[in-house]
Structure 1
Amino acid sequence: MRGSQVPVSTTDQRLLDSRGSTDWLHADPWRVMRITSEFVNGFGALTELGPAVSVFGSARTAPDAPAYRLGEEVGRALVEAGYAVITGGGPGAMEAANKGAREAGGTSVGLGIELPFEAGLNPHVDLGVNFRYFFARKTMFVKYACGFIVLPGGFGTLDELFEAVTLVQTQKVTSFPIVLVGSEYWGGLLGWLRDTAAAAGTISEKDLSLLTLTDDPHEAVRVVVEADRASARGTAEPTTPAG
């Protein structure tokens, strides 16, 4: 730097000076450090987790709703099959899956997110990590899971579902199963994908095979287990198409 570009103070002087504005705490370079710390914390917490499956679903699911009971059964069946359960750590369907996992004696993981209207992890989480940034949290959902099971949910669940499908479809990740639980809830979406999107050529018929639809939580777990075993053997077993 020359001329007017030469700063009037040195870098060390600015670092050691406790006076002045603290706006730098909210500047982009400092955010990079916070983002890095989230990845470090997530990796550190989950790296020894072992086989796990991510379960998605609505935070608004009531404890007396059928989808809540489905979540409990999914969590329980995953633990019985030898897997830890990872959820978003919130209430509703996420809480149900964590509850089922914990009551079955397994590892119940919650990856929380800082939101203005949802706070804290549900009481059935044994290992929890809170995130500021969605993209750091999503990385943990994918990196430490060998499959996704998706319960009825809203925008957040749809976001996680389609991100997972996109990563598999574009081969950005090693292929893993994605199972939708609840044909009455998901049937309309799959029908639109088949009759509108595939018919228009914006997706292929092959893309639809990336999704499996079932009403049976034990069938959902079976699909994940069989795909995981096939992956361990290095064989490519066909995915059951969505119905």
Structure 2
Amino acid sequence: MAKKKLKKVDDDLLKQAIEEEHRIRKAFVDKDWAEIKSSDSWVIFKVMSEFVEGFEKLAKIGPCVTIFGSARTKPTNPYYKMADDIAYQLVQHGYGVITGGGPGIMEAGNRGAHRAKGKSVGLNIFLPFEQKGNIYIDPDKLITFDYFFVRKVMFMKYSQGFIVMPGGFGTLDELTEALTLIQTKKIGRFPIVLVGKEYWKGFVDWVTKVLIGKEKNANVEDLELFSVVDTPEEAVKVIDDFYSKYLLSPNF
């Protein structure tokens, strides 16, 4: 009896192994046209719809500055208050404010713009932990995306400047995307302001000493693509000074 039970267990394990092998092999078999047409290719239309909605809604918003930063920043954090103040002052200087639409620094940016009675735009993203648009976004200026790359196009296309507050991987992604596109002249130059000298010191040191100095993977002139400041007033001044200088330039 015991031998029969052991044989049955062995047979079951063998059957499971064969089924798993077939499942793996099937996953790596080339898809035929019908499968592609019914899956991957149809994603194109979803991507197109996100581009169309973004272009139609954002084409009319006028000059805006995007504020990036961590979704984890609490209202008690000094950087939250600073982002709120920067957004408020940007509105007073004639700009609207765009954020990623979520909590933390994004909420602070929209809050400051709302408090100043200016344009408060949110480009939200569907995430596994269900990020929702914050309450300070103008109801007609909230767009929610499925695709990060579509959302980033909107940031780049419709922003007249970036204010980069302390943040995580997402903030670094958006910062380096902008620097790359400007460096390679894929988009026109606009001001990029890193807020918080102590926070960004390690990044700036690495770019200066390793990326440029040691490895020669960028030019020393690329350091001029961004500014580092410590106060809301300095951040807004960088934006104003940039457009005062470059709008008067015949090459702008």
The TM-score, its normalising length taken from structure 2, stands at: 0.82
Aligned to 1:223: 238
Contact 1:62-1:68 at 8 Å conserved across structures: yes
Cα separation, 2, equivalents of 1:25 and 1:156: 32
Contact 1:146-1:228 at 8 Å conserved across structures: no
Shift of 1:119: 2.1
Cα separation, 2, equivalents of 1:142 and 1:158: 14
Mapping for residues 44-123 of structure 1, pairs under 5 Å: 44-123=56-135
Q: Say yes or no: does 1:141 pair with 2:158.
A: no
Amino acid at match of 1:79: V
Amino acid at match of 1:83: Y
1:158-199 Cα deviation digits (max 9, x unpaired): 000000000110010011111000001001110111111111
Shift of 1:25: 8.8
2:136 is paired with a residue of what secondary structure?
A: coil
- Structure 2 unpaired stretches of 5+: 1-34
**Are residues 187 and 207 of structure 1, via their aligned partners in 2, closer, same or farther at CA, if it must alter by over 3 Å?**
same
Amino acid at match of 1:207: D
Shift of 1:47: 0.7
Amino acid at match of 1:220: A
**Are residues 44 and 195 of structure 1, via their aligned partners in 2, closer, same or farther at CA, if it must alter by over 3 Å?**
same
Aligned to 1:170: 184
Higher fraction of helix = 2
Deviates more, 1:224-233 or 1:201-210: 224-233
Shift of 1:234: 3.1
Deviates more, 1:72-81 or 1:114-123: 114-123
2:247 is paired with a residue of what secondary structure?
A: helix
Task: Tell me the matched-pair count.
Answer: 216
Amino acid at match of 1:211: F
Amino acid at match of 1:40: V
Mapping for residues 12-51 of structure 1, pairs under 5 Å: 27-51=39-63
- Structure 1 unpaired stretches of 5+: 1-22, 238-243
Residue in structure 2 matching 1:210, options 225, 230, 235: 225
Identity among equivalent pairs (%): 48
Shift of 1:118: 3.6
Residue in structure 2 matching 1:131, options 138, 145, 160: 145
**Are residues 197 and 112 of structure 1, via their aligned partners in 2, closer, same or farther at CA, if it must alter by over 3 Å?**
same
**Are residues 236 and 215 of structure 1, via their aligned partners in 2, closer, same or farther at CA, if it must alter by over 3 Å?**
farther
Cα separation, 2, equivalents of 1:225 and 1:235: 18
The TM-score, its normalising length taken from structure 1, stands at: 0.85
Shift of 1:228: 2.4
